[in-house]
Chain A
Amino acid sequence: MKIKIFNKTTKIASASMLVASCLFAGAAMAKDSVKVGVVSFLTGPAAGVFGVPAKQGAQIVIDAINNGTMPAPYNTQGFAGAKMNPVFSDESGGGTKQVGLFRDFVEKQKVDAMIGYISSGNCMAIGPIADELKMLTVFSTCGTPRLYEEKLRSHVFRTQANAVGDSLAAARYIVDMYPNEKNYTGINQNYAWGQDSYKFFELGMKQMSPDSKGSDKPQFPKLFVGQYGTEISALSLDKAKVVHSSFWNGDIEAFTLQAMVRGFFQKKIFVSSVGGSAVDALGKKFPDGIVMGTRGNVGLLARDNKDSLNLWFIGEYKKRFNALPLGPSYQYARSILAYKFAMDKAMKKAGKFPTQDQVIAAMKNIKFKSFTETISMARGGGHQAVHSVGYGLTKYNKKGKTPGAEKVKMYGPECIYPPAGTKSEDWINAGMPGAKCN
């Protein structure tokens, strides 16, 4: 009998020791690896040229940092010394579904940070939840200005500047390069991104060229409709020569192909704020002379940039995926860089592996080296990045058989974003006081 009890006690003791040792191992593990959720569209219409290149861009940088093979200034191994263990997840299904998944990431998978998100709707949905669950979240691509203008966020950072700058830079480019064009119109998808993009383009044009006039028939077709016959006719009949568009993905490709055969691009000055992916997808079929933006100094417009980090990124991307990095690849990779920068900085300050609060404190207001420029988190209480936004004319490089751009103009952050604490719409309507454009 005694022996039996003894046996039972030893069993319980050894079991609890095992559990305890697992727990300790877990605590120690946290210093060798950080688990990070990386969310982008992996299914649905936005996967092809947004979600998948974004994931690939993140993969390259994560692997290089984990192995310590990234060029300076990121040539130290790991994130505060820890290897990143990324968990890639799908962003499709709408904001409400993503909020549910986000809770899963935090409570079930127990991640250390969340990085990603392309859709503005998802960012608006995740923002408040990230603060509520106190989870460090770095948004990579989404552009809605409402994210920080409605409320400052405690746990949420965004390494991509908001959509206001994309539209204002487009307006600047038109005013600078085509000063005689006074009439403009637009074709934008009928949802939050399209509506916002055209609104800020119009507000910008009104300020920068006061005698310009917007068409009373800008087109707002449904998202992902794919057929633009009637809209192309309506735009062709419109006397406005400048046509603004924030189309992306399959929509810009479909529109380009359908408009091209009707000689649309010979008659109009077409300004595309995010169509860069279509230029690569269509290759030499894509018409030359389209005013093209990539939401920053990335993707198509950064192909000739000789920054060593940029050259490395393009080279690695080509080697691994046999393609050129697109805008979202840069945007996701940049978020990873910002995370590393903040982790390392917090580690240095704390002298040991940093806590989440220390990382957040370290990330505020940082200036970190990105692929083509140094980006500062100078808005939204130090949580929102601003960077330059460029536009150029598409020009297919026949010799290298690669798409490219010419007459590229970069607009610095002080030119296209309101000063900290000012709402974009108020700032533009007040005549953009303090804007410094070179």
Chain B
Amino acid sequence: MFTGIFKDTSVRILITFMIVLCVLSSLVLPDWMQNNFMYGLSRGLAILGLMLLWRTNLVSFGHALYYGFGAYAVALCQKYFGITDILLRFAIAVIAAGLLGFCLGFILRKYREIFFAMLSLAFSMVLYGLLAKAEFLGSTDGMSISPSTLLGMELTRQYLFYLITFFVICAAISIQAYLRSTLGHLTTAIQDNEIRVEYLGYSVQKAIHIKYVMSACLAGGAGGLMAASLGQVDPDSMVNWNVSGELVFITIMSGWGNILAPFIGAIIFEFIRTYAFEWAPQAWAAIVGGTLLAIIFFFPGGIWSVIEKVFNYGKKKNVK
């Protein structure tokens, strides 16, 4: 599956982009930008998960379930077992969300379109209800998370950023490897014609289940990293339906052409929001919403389609 993965153009572009980001942020850019990159990259993992589902025409309006589950797994492991190691945190978040996704996958893999979207929303709101009512989980106030460590050493935010970048590269490469495999190619085939895929001898439900678990793992990892980089979890900003909506929003904004697209989209979203909050504290939501409308009207393929156009412009000219 991973053979020749580093010769893949998308992977090369991704790695170059991340390295440039690391170098720029450690040498030139101010600290606050690094924060935004950190949130953007973390959230980008969840977007990548949604993009995977989207390739099969499945839109999940409840991905905050895994996002929040990963974040709360990190918070609870700190509260009860004192785990603050960033490697463990990431692993715990991914595994916890993956297990939950595996269980719920048995139900969700049978549904498509609006039924899939609404059922996933329902599951996420169940978790929200539980968290908001459970006093020992901090209720709506949530829980705070102490700064991460690495193998017993304290981790500065600079190194946390490098590590997040590293996690993101690993996750994105795995997804690219999956997309290049037979199973990955199946996903677009399922989108085109499910019955034909079944006749070819593949189980559509199984393929969707696998994809769903991967997507849950990514969202869980995103939640875990977000919790570690922000230092706080609470149901309203981690599990509520509007968080799921925000994730879908960024997915649409990013476009689904490439594994790098979700991360660029998520970073741009962080910047839009930062400036919207600063310039118009009373109307920031209108600015964020207006941006989405503009993108849908003018660039239906998302930000990635713009990038593609810019880079392909020269090539097309040569062909002519």
Contacts and interface: CB of A to CB of B under 8 A. Distances in A.
Say whether A and B bind each other: yes
A94 B236 contact: yes
Contacts of B35: 100, 103-104, 107
Contacts of A408: none
A225 to B, nearest CB: 13
Interface stretch (B15-23, B54-62, B93-101, B275-283): B275-283
B231 interface: yes
Contacts of A96: 142, 226, 230, 232-234, 237-238
B142 A100 contact: no
A104 B141 CA distance: 21
A287 interface: no
A100 B43 CA distance: 13
A121 B234 contact: yes
Nearest to A189: B140
B126 interface: no
A109 to B, nearest CB: 7
Interface residues of A, number: 33
Contacts of A192: 135, 138-141
B188 interface: no
A108 interface: yes
A95 B237 contact: yes
Given A99-B230, A107-B35, A128 B141 contact: no
Contacts of A108: 30-32, 274
A50 to B, nearest CB: 14
Interface string B236-251: 1110100000000000
A95 B68 CA distance: 13
Nearest to B237: A94
Given A99-B230, A100-B230, A191 B237 contact: no
A94, A108, A129, A192 interface centre (most CB from chain B within 10 Å): A94
A121 B240 CA distance: 15
Contacts of B301: none
A191 B135 CA distance: 9
Interface stretch (A10-18, A85-93, A244-252, A370-378): A85-93
Contacts of A190: 132-133
Contacts of B231: 99, 125, 128-129, 132
Nearest to A52: B282
A418 interface: no
Contacts of A100: 35, 39, 230
A93 B234 CA distance: 11
Contact of B139 (A88, A103, A195): A195
B144 A128 contact: yes
Contacts of B283: 43
A203 interface: no
A219 interface: no
Interface residues of A, dominant DSSP: helix
Contact of A124 (B31, B133, B144): B144
A193 B69 CA distance: 23
A146 B277 CA distance: 29
Contacts of A90: 277, 281-282, 284
Nearest to A151: B144
Contacts of A101: 277
Given A107-B31, A107-B35, A124-B141, A129 B281 contact: no
A297 B281 CA distance: 30
Contacts of B144: 124-125, 127-129
Interface string A219-232: 00001000000000
Contacts of A42: 281-282
B32 A121 contact: no
A100 B277 CA distance: 11
Interface in B200-259: 226, 230-234, 236-238, 240
Interface residues of B, dominant DSSP: helix
B230 to A, nearest CB: 5
Given A121-B236, A129-B231, A191-B132, A95 B142 contact: yes
B234 A95 contact: yes
A195 to B, nearest CB: 6
A144 interface: yes
A120 interface: yes
B139 A191 contact: yes
Nearest to A106: B32
Interface in B297-314: none
B284 to A, nearest CB: 6
Contacts of A125: 141-142, 144, 231-232, 234
A44 to B, nearest CB: 9
Contacts of A99: 230-232
A212 B31 CA distance: 57
A97 interface: yes
Contacts of A132: 147, 231
Given A121-B236, A191-B132, A191-B139, A88 B281 contact: yes
B82 to A, nearest CB: 16
Interface in A167-204: 190-192, 195
Given A90-B284, A107-B31, A125-B232, A144 B133 contact: no
Contacts of A95: 141-142, 232, 234, 236-237
Contacts of A89: 277-278, 281
Interface in A106-127: 107-109, 120-121, 124-125, 127
Given A90-B284, A124-B141, 20 more contacts: A43-B284, A93-B237, A95-B237, A96-B237, A96-B238, A104-B274, A108-B30, A108-B31, A109-B278, A124-B142, A125-B141, A125-B144, A128-B232, A129-B144, A144-B141, A191-B132, A191-B139, A191-B140, A195-B135, A195-B139
12 contacts: A89-B281, A94-B234, A94-B238, A96-B142, A96-B226, A96-B230, A104-B278, A107-B32, A121-B142, A128-B232, A132-B147, A190-B132
Interface of A: 42-43, 88-90, 93-97, 99-101, 103-104, 107-109, 120-121, 124-125, 127-129, 132, 144, 146, 190-192, 195, 223
- Closest A-B pairs by Cβ, 5 of them: A94-B237, A108-B32, A94-B236, A96-B237, A191-B140
